[in-house]
Structure 1
Amino acid sequence: MTSDDLRPRFLALLREHHKIVLKVASVYARGRQDRSDLAQEIAIQLWRSFPRYDPERRFSTWMYRVALNVGISFARRERVRDGRIEPRAEPPDLADDAGEPDERLARLHAVIAGLAELDRALILLYLEERPHSEIAAILGISETNVATKLGRLKQRLRGQLAATATET
């Protein structure tokens, strides 16, 4: 198949699942421009990888795997380029319909932003209510490892959220 044959199918799938790109970009990039750049970089890498996509598998699982790999690489490059290791400066846009951010959600995003790249991917997929089998396939780890890591991560997040709640 030529790229001209693949393009309409790819664009339809990308439109259908575009929120995956936006979510990953919001987790791994700091400012609005960085999120836009990362979303574009993810889309480009998805297109480059699309000829290797196996239609027997779920597109969203494959898309998450590519998007998270690009997001993690982006975050690592930015950290090295900026010469810093701290998490993003601000949480993603969390305004509700009235335009007011939900304080608890903002705290959760701030805590998530401070996690290691792989832990951020794991919690993102968990919050998306992806089954352990799909998370394992996306991250390339076993289902048992997913369950173990998630249990530990949730416990750590609870502690950090409780600590930030008492600070405010």
Structure 2
Amino acid sequence: MSREEAFIKIIKDHEGIIYKIARIYADITEEQADLYQEIVFQMWKSFESFRGEAKISTWMYRIALNTALFHSKQKNKRGRNVSLDKIVLKQENYDPVMEDRLKILYQQIRRLNDLEKAVILLFLEGRTHEEISAITGLSHTNVGTRISRIKDKLRKTIKK
């Protein structure tokens, strides 16, 4: 298998990681697509240096989050756009109630600071505290504390 084929397979197998990060860190559909492309590009640039010391998903999360954070900082320098588009969810079984709940959850997650977004996204993905710690650079204890605080913050804002 060539290097390109191996990379394409990894991206296809784990594209949910990239999609979710792009969706959390970009508001407008076109911006999400641009961020998705930028993340894939950054992964391609780093692919040759991947040594396999960490899981492929950990490596992908690190690059995706760093790219998204850089994108977010650049966007803040340029100013903010307001999206009038409806978010289209990639779901096979369409459930309008679940779609509304997910929209509310994603809206509230977007209001968190960049590190909180990363931590809660990884938690919602089912990552362990150890994995979140490895990806974000936070200590294991700090990850647990932050998750608890973020969940409380989301509960309070969603109840309103």
TM-score (norm 2): 0.88
Tell me, which stretches of 5 or more residues in structure 2 are unaligned?
none
The 1:28–1:90 alpha-carbon spacing in structure 2 relative to 1, beyond 3 Å, is farther
Deviations 1:30-64 (A, max 9, x none): 11111110000000000111122121321001101
Identity of paired residues, percent?
36
Tell me, which stretches of 5 or more residues in structure 1 are unaligned?
164-168
Q: Distance in 1 between matches of 2:34 and 2:152?
A: 33
Corresponding residue pairs, total: 158
TM-score (norm 1): 0.84
Q: Distance in 2 between matches of 1:90 and 1:76?
A: 22
The one of the two structures with greater contact order (alpha-carbon pairs below 8 A, sep at least 6) is 2
> What is the match of residue 18 of structure 2?
21
Q: Is residue 65 of structure 2 the alignment partner of residue 68 of structure 1?
A: yes
Structure 2 counterpart of 1:100, one-letter code:
P
The 1:87–1:150 alpha-carbon spacing in structure 2 relative to 1, beyond 3 Å, is farther
Q: Distance in 2 between matches of 1:90 and 1:54?
A: 40
Q: Is residue 5 of structure 2 the alignment partner of residue 8 of structure 1?
A: yes
Shift of 1:76: 1.4
Q: Distance in 2 between matches of 1:41 and 1:13?
A: 16
Shift of 1:136: 0.5
**Contact 2:22–2:32 (CA under 8 A) maintained in structure 1:** yes
Q: Summarize the alignment of residues 133-152 of structure 1 with structure 2, pairs less than 5 Å apart.
A: 133-152=130-149
Q: Which has the larger radius of gyration?
A: 1
